[in-house]
Structure 1
Amino acid sequence: MTYQISVCYGKPDDPAAFDEYYRSTHIPLTEKVPGLSGFTWGICRSLDGSEPRFHAVAHLQFATEDDLQQALASPEMRVAGKDVRNFATGGATMFVQNLESVRSE
């Protein structure tokens, strides 16, 4: 089973500034989190063309629950977490998931 932290970012005051800061500053901080086995993010678009609820969503993956717990307690995660207030003017919703594969290829 894979463990994942998902971060949903609300619409920022300046989307271009958010994107630039996220790429140039926040990603390098997050990549230092111990035990991180995967890290993806993307800008949201709705299927029907309406305004999506979130500007972007990030997924931080960990191979084991122990890796996740160690990451959450790490100084590197605290630094990355505190950095969110520097760019997420639209707010951020964070949660943990236990991912179950429903399809094997």
Structure 2
Amino acid sequence: MHDVFVLYNHPDLPQEFDAHYRDVHASLVNALPNLREFTWGKPSEDGAGYYVVARLTYDSAFEAADSLASEAGKKSVDDLANFAGAGVTVLNITRAG
């Protein structure tokens, strides 16, 4: 299994971020091909300084790369400019064992 973690920095306008993420971005992510699971949430106050953490799970790193390179993937990535101006960090992790 392969996970893509997206770590969102704290936005200047949290309510606008929340509304866009919930009402627009999550639907774009759910439309990604090959996606096995998509979860997201807000870490506890000691959550390493991130506002939202999302996890996208795929069967393999190849399927994750293919998914994000798709038309739906491009739409999802392009949408970041609409709400994630504070920046994001993306981690790709292939699970051992």
Query: Does TM, scored on the shorter chain, surpass 0.5?
Result: yes
- Measure the CA separation in 1 of the matches of 2:44 and 2:5: 17
Structure 2: gaps spanning 5 or more residues = none
Over the aligned positions, Cα root-mean-square deviation in angstroms equals 1.6
- Measure the CA separation in 1 of the matches of 2:72 and 2:27: 11
AA in 2 matched with 1:46:
E
Aligned pairs for 1:19-30 (under 5 A) are 19-30=18-29
- Percent identity, please: 30
Structure 1: gaps spanning 5 or more residues = none
Moved >2 Å (runs of 4+): none
Larger proportion of helix: 2
Which of 57, 62, 65 is the aligned partner of 1:61? 57
Q: Which has the larger radius of gyration?
A: 1
1:28-55 CA-to-partner distances (Å, cap 9, x unmatched) read 11111100000000012234xxx85110
Residue correspondences, number: 97
- Measure the CA separation in 1 of the matches of 2:7 and 2:34: 21
